[in-house]
Structure 1
């Protein structure tokens, strides 16, 4: 359930973009009626309606995540607050200037913020955030955690570069599909590779205990 909650903005961005692509006239009319004041010139064109509608949806979805967490009195992650600021600023610029370039930079900015977070926390401060994220249940030597910290820094930095390369090289439809499937797929593969790497450095008795618990 938490995974779906975390992915909700991406899913809704993808779904609304695809819907508006098939119903551009309706999307354009809705945007002009309700958000004409938020765009330069007061009017949204037919071809730009899909990405602008998807931008509005992803801003609303990110805000909704925080509202729900607050209503349930659950802590709001700092990266979620940062994501809200980034999506509101870049989403607002996308709407006002009718320019999808701004929202295409959003994943890259988030990836680079996460890379910076891992760099500062894991490498500079040595707080072993990855170990804390795993509930302290995985015990491996400190150099292993440090290598994993560097791996996540490089992964997020590379994903930021890859996102913007796709955004500038391919049509918007391709970028939206990459944002939904490509980036998530690469993250899943990297996470699985991390699990394999950790399993090779766990103490034998710990690995046997985890295998017994899973069985």
Structure 2
């Protein structure tokens, strides 16, 4: 459910673009992102750093789009977010005792350190490539194509990558204890 909530600004951007234009869509995304972070803060009394970074990027780049009436800023926003993710994943490989992906999933599974490092590197490369792909689509195709890619293409690629990650991880997971427990 949280995943769908995290997508809300993108979905609202898409809907507003289809109903109006890129500038209305940008304003809607800015408002939705700020409201989303405020809602999370109100409910949980804390907000994850990446949610704050994402909101800051849409406020700054979306704001620049609206102030200068130039959509180039909002076109860069998905790239900036994905490259920020890539930098965080890459940085976690050299700062701290565990890569970020291990910190995120350590409670759910036990894996060798080399597997965690490969997984973290894969996410780093994925986010870097997704950011570059956004720029390619943004500057080589029309706005309608870019808006569709922003919602469906990026979401589809992320889900496909997460599925590939799950398949990769399944090779490294130990089978669950299948012996029945003795009754007391």
Fold-level similarity (TM above 0.5): yes
* RMSD (Å) for aligned C-alpha atoms: 1.4
Give me the whole-angstrom Cα distance separating, in 2, the residues matched to 1:90 and 1:109: 9
Distance 2:16 2:161 in 1: 28
- Please state if 1:107 is matched with 2:78: yes
Deviations 1:3-49 (A, max 9, x none): 111000100000110111xxxxxxxxxxxxxxxxxxxxxxxxxxxxx
Number of residue pairs aligned between Structure 1 and Structure 2: 178
Task: Show structure 1 runs of 4+ deviating over 6 A.
Answer: none
- Ranges in structure 2 where 5+ consecutive residues have no aligned partner: 179-184
Q: Which moved more, 1:95-104 or 1:135-144?
A: 135-144
Q: Does the CA-based 8 Å contact 1:123-1:150 persist in structure 2?
A: no
What residue number does 1:95 align with?
66
Q: 2:78, 2:131 within 8 Å by CA — same for their partners in 1?
A: yes
Q: Distance in 1 between matches of 2:140 and 2:97?
A: 38
Question: Aligned-pair distance for 1:124?
Answer: 4.1
Cα distance in 1 between the residues matched to 2:125 and 2:63: 29
Distance 2:93 2:8 in 1: 28
Residues 89-127 of structure 1: CA deviation (Å, up to 9, x unaligned): 111111111111110000000000000000111344342
Q: Output the TM-score relative to the length of structure 1.
A: 0.79
Q: 5 Å matches for 1:164-203?
A: 164-203=135-174
1:156 aligns with 2:95: no
TM-score by length of 2: 0.92
2:44 aligns with 73
> Could you say which residue in structure 1 is the equivalent of 2:105?
134
Q: Considering only CA atoms, is the larger Rg found in Structure 1 or Structure 2?
A: 1
- Residue 88 (structure 1) shift: 1.0
Do the aligned residues in 2 keep the contact of 1:130 with 1:149 (CA within 8 Å)?
yes
Query: Which residue is 2:4 aligned to?
Result: 4
SS of the aligned residue for 1:105 comes to: helix
- Equivalent-residue separation in structure 1 for 2:120 and 2:71 (angstroms): 33
- Equivalent residues of 1:52, 1:98 under 8 A apart: yes
